[in-house]
Amino acid sequence: MNITRTFEQLLSGIDTLETVGDLSCEISSIEYDSRRVKPGALFVALPGAQVDGSVYIEEAAQRGAAAIVSQSPCALGKSFPYAQVSNARFALARLASAFYDHPAEKLCTVGITGTNGKTTVSFMLRDIFKAAARRSGLIGTVRYEIGNRVLPASRTTPEAPDVQSMLFQMDRSGCDSAVMEVSSHALDQCRVDGIRFNVGIFTNLTQDHLDYHGTLEEYFSVKARLFDQVKDTAVINCDDPCGRRLITEERCRSSVISYGFEEGALVRGRNARNDAAGSSMTVESPWGSAEISLQLIGRFNLYNALAAFAAAASVGIPVDVIRTALAEMENIPGRLESVGTKIKRVYVDYAHTDDALRNVLNALREITPGRLVVVFGCGGNRDLGKRRLMGEVASRLADYSIITTDNSRSESPEKIAADISAGFDSERKYEVCLDRTAAIARGVELIGKKDVLLVAGKGHETVQEIGGTIFPFDDREVVREVL
């Protein structure tokens, strides 16, 4: 479907510093990448960490852009349609929402933020909505689901025009709901501005992305912004210290449903159980009590189930439907995904923070009568502080660790491995094998029938980036080949 709006229509909800040119010109697309500009496009020049988008304004005009929005004053003459704004990212989000006629308003939208658990909660909600005969779209780390189409995910939360386009397509394809993972980068860069979520979920907050946010306090403040955009219900993990802050500091403008295992939670889990077959608990809530069983292992997945339970119940889905959907849910790609055999038990998980690694190792320890071995690394050009922390977690909770490469990007793999190994209390508890394939093979070699191997860090990812080169790499496929 071809969409056209006038520049003036799109600017009606935007505060501008200056406008020039003919604002009645027609806009047929919104672009933030000058290479994608075609005749009729509105080009929004975004500020960048390396290069400011304003340097591409002339190129965009040459490619046929009908109008320009930028934080910089107009340099194209007084006849070219142009709007100067104070915040181009904020403007981009509002322009995109207006261009697609505010599609979020036509859907029941659920936004999920937090350091860990976003993907699992999103998949749980997708399955619950399906069981309730609702058609739900999905935007998240693993993939995008739009009607009957499944697309590979380029990032957890795409740029605003892509988000709005997906929501528009969901509505057009008959979806009535949309479940979205909302990253801290997305919140800081205004990618979901213009969306008033029906439900917002906060899972937890631990150290991550400090290379971007600088401090844990700033990271928390950015995450908290989601709840400025929640119009109906905020679902908050009250067992998490930052979740309690959200509640006690009254950061949420909507009604709050707290969840957790501790006393005082509105949706409370009790009698948690975990074994090799899965996990279970009793849930007490304002909508009634239920015995919840999962095929997923680990106490942290019970927390994820509590979040999904609370969110689904808050939008009117019956407890029986929620219970059945959670019980039938199978492995989520790259989330404690079992890829081994009866003789060699191997799990692949996306855990790439110290808290996530701690949760996964604790879950596996409960089902491991023998040795627990982990293969992991840390990403290059990312939060340096978590490397030692992840080493400390592995040193304490695993019997043996193999430190390897995990998207080292432009950093030295040897330097990253040294940073991780600084967290170990004994050299006898780990070895370094920078070739990830060889490291996985070594891990498989070390385990017997009573042991478990965890391959952590990449999860569902299918590429590896080293020295600026991206090449195919899937931990799950490597494990299967080695076995």
The total number of residues written for the chain in this structure: 483
Distance CA 473, CA 457 (A): 12
Residue 118 annotated as lining a ligand binding site:
yes
Low-confidence ranges of the chain (pLDDT < 50): none
Residue 114 annotated as lining a ligand binding site:
yes
Token output for 158: 């795409």
* DSSP output for 225-279: GGGGSEEEEEEEETTSHHHHHHHHTT--SSEEEEEESSTT-SEEEEEEEEETTEE
Closest CA to 114 of 241, 263, 268: 241
Phi and psi (nearest 5°) for 438?
-65, -35
Contacts 24+ apart (CB under 8 A), 216-222: 219/184, 220/245, 222/184, 222/187, 222/188
Residue 469 annotated as lining a ligand binding site:
no
Residue 34 annotated as lining a ligand binding site:
yes
The domain defined by 5-99 folds into 3.40.1390
Q: Is 330 helix (H, G, I), strand (E, B) or coil?
A: coil
Q: Which CATH architecture fits 103-328?
A: 3-Layer(aba) Sandwich (3.40)
Residue 408 annotated as lining a ligand binding site:
no
Pairing of strands 278-284, 290-294: antiparallel
Span(s) in the chain for CATH 3.40.1190.10: 103-328
Residues 130 and 124 sit within 8 Å (Cβ to Cβ): no
> What's the confidence (pLDDT) of residue 75?
83
Residues 67 and 82 sit within 8 Å (Cβ to Cβ): yes
Distance CA 33, CA 53 (A): 8
Phi and psi (nearest 5°) for 136?
-120, 135
H/E element holding 402? strand 400-403
Q: How far is the CA of 385 from the CAs of 207, 311, 353, 402, in angstroms? A: 8, 33, 10, 20
Residue 173 annotated as lining a ligand binding site:
no
Span(s) in the chain for CATH 3.40.1390.10: 5-99
> What's the confidence (pLDDT) of residue 213?
58
Q: How far is the CA of 427 from the CAs of 333, 400, 401, 403, in angstroms? A: 33, 10, 10, 12
> What's the confidence (pLDDT) of residue 51?
82
Residue 117 annotated as lining a ligand binding site:
yes
Distance CA 119, CA 286 (A): 26
Residue 395 annotated as lining a ligand binding site:
no
Residue 119 annotated as lining a ligand binding site:
yes
DSSP state for residue 332 in the 8-state scheme: B
Q: Does domain 337-482 have CATH number 1.10.645.10?
A: no
Span(s) in the chain for CATH 3.90.190.20: 337-482
Residues 178 and 107 sit within 8 Å (Cβ to Cβ): yes
Residues 305 and 291 sit within 8 Å (Cβ to Cβ): no
Residues 445 and 304 sit within 8 Å (Cβ to Cβ): no
